[in-house]
Structure 1
Amino acid sequence: MNLFSTYNHTHVIVFNWNKFSETMFLEKIILSKKDKMFFLSLSKQRKIEFLGIRYALRYIGIKMNVFYNEKRNPFLFPLGGKNISFSHSFEKIAIAISSYHIGIDIEKSRKDNKIIKIKKKFIRDDESIFINQNYEKDYLHIIWGIKESLYKLKGGIFYSFLNHYKVSPFCIKNDSCISCWIITNYYSKKFYAFYRKIEEYYLVYIIDLKKK
């Protein structure tokens, strides 16, 4: 597992799910009867994700369980001032645990250039003007990850990647922290996104340092 720490209140963990087996995880964690019943209904990859998330929590010393609300957003119980977000893409799973609200996304750069084919669905006109065409795929993946992370950060209540989220100009060669916004007719708030490239994957996460 790769463990990235942001400040002293946030942990970001990335690992390849196909390098772990069910047996390896089950030797290290104990599932409740309810968790065991749910676990048996999952696909092979979902089982590893299910176990991996719980192992990651114990890996950093958090003894809590993961549950989902009515909108399928994950939360930790018993409530102890910690928030969780996770994402998966092909072989990798990314998990973020923080004292603050947090959203995370990981995406693999695909050879079919799908991200370029769908860019009109999430790239605003004022974002397209600062995208360096020599690094278009990098910019598109980072912007997508930012908007996906903002979407998760606010529990999916703002659904339009074109109208509800905006990314400020940035340079992928120099910046590791990017300004971004949630915008609606009655609400506007600035956030900062962190990103890094891990092999052919793009990892993005956003921490809401202001709880209100």
Structure 2
Amino acid sequence: MPLYKIIQPNSQTTVKVWKITESYDDLMSPLDLKPNSLKRVLGMKSELHQRGFLSVRHLLRDFGYTDQDLYYDDNGKPHLKDGKYISITHSFTFSGVIVSDSEVGIDIEKQRQKITIIANKFVDYEFQYLSEDDDDYIKKLTVIWGIKESLYKLFATPGMLFREHFLVIPFMLDHGETVAWIDYEDKKYRYNTHFLEFEGFTCAFVTT
């Protein structure tokens, strides 16, 4: 199954999600990868990761780009040669790409019980409105993680910490959006955030 979902949060921004059902060979055969991309995918030990990497290249094609249009800076942040902003994610059987005229970040996460074990590592302020007794506790934690991961991808600055530098304003799951802040080195940055769930996964993305 190729393209799974298209979301347009504003006129300058598009999100595309791919459900990865194809085999490695089916994903690889139509692609023209740069030598370093080919080396990277062949070096991956997990076929799941290989298929995730390749599905992202199919999403690029759906946007009208090729692997040659994509490059990474020293912090591992992806860029497009035409100057548009891009962020990339893949998790198990889903991948996602967001392209915009302004800076963006995206993350897809599988909703799993084990996120409760690591909550203290990425949640601080948000504990003020979270409750472990809430039936949606895992889903809300996953949204917060996804938003903070998206912020981290957008800002791409070594030394930033999810727990200390990122804040997610209280939200309702059915609203699908909230506001997040980066508070870093005496500067504050405000971002619009969006989230949705499908098939046990949460997709979050941030826009300026």
Please tell me the TM-score bracket, short chain as reference: 0.7 to 0.9
Instruction: Tell me which amino acid in the other structure corresponds to 1:180.
Output: A
Pick from 5, 11, 21 the counterpart of residue 7 of structure 2: 5
Q: CA–CA distance in 2 between the matches of 1:40 and 1:20?
A: 17
What is aligned with 1:127? 126
Instruction: Tell me which amino acid in the other structure corresponds to 2:44.
Output: L
Q: CA–CA distance in 2 between the matches of 1:138 and 1:156?
A: 27
What is aligned with 2:197? 197
What is aligned with 1:187? 187
Deviation of residue 159 (structure 1)? 2.0
8 Å Cα contact 1:146/1:204 also seen in 2: yes
8 Å Cα contact 1:54/1:65 also seen in 2: no
What is aligned with 2:102? 100
Instruction: Tell me which amino acid in the other structure corresponds to 1:108.
Output: K
Q: How does 1:1-212 map to 2 (within 5 A)?
A: 1-6=3-8, 7-17=10-20, 19-43=21-45, 44-63=47-66, 64-76=68-80, 79-110=81-112, 113-124=113-124, 126-132=125-131, 133-134=133-134, 135-173=136-174, 175-208=175-208
8 Å Cα contact 2:59/2:96 also seen in 1: no
Number of aligned positions between the proteins: 201
Deviation of residue 170 (structure 1)? 1.4
Instruction: Tell me which amino acid in the other structure corresponds to 2:42.
Output: L
Deviation of residue 35 (structure 1)? 3.8
8 Å Cα contact 1:158/1:164 also seen in 2: no
Residue-by-residue CA offset, 1:52-97 (whole Å, 9 max, x unaligned): 2221111122345322222222222xx2122221222222222222
8 Å Cα contact 1:39/1:47 also seen in 2: yes
8 Å Cα contact 2:52/2:95 also seen in 1: yes
Q: Which runs of 5+ in 1 are unaligned?
A: none
Identity of aligned residues (%): 28
Q: CA 1:130 to 1:22, structure 2 compared with 1: closer, same or farther past 3 Å?
A: same
Alignment TM-score, normalising by the size of structure 1: 0.85
8 Å Cα contact 2:52/2:91 also seen in 1: no
8 Å Cα contact 1:192/1:207 also seen in 2: yes
8 Å Cα contact 1:104/1:206 also seen in 2: yes
Residue-by-residue CA offset, 1:132-169 (whole Å, 9 max, x unaligned): 53221121111111111111110143521121011111
8 Å Cα contact 2:53/2:90 also seen in 1: no
Deviation of residue 20 (structure 1)? 1.3
8 Å Cα contact 2:106/2:205 also seen in 1: yes
Alignment TM-score, normalising by the size of structure 2: 0.86
Q: CA–CA distance in 2 between the matches of 1:205 and 1:115?
A: 19
Moved over 6 A (4+): none
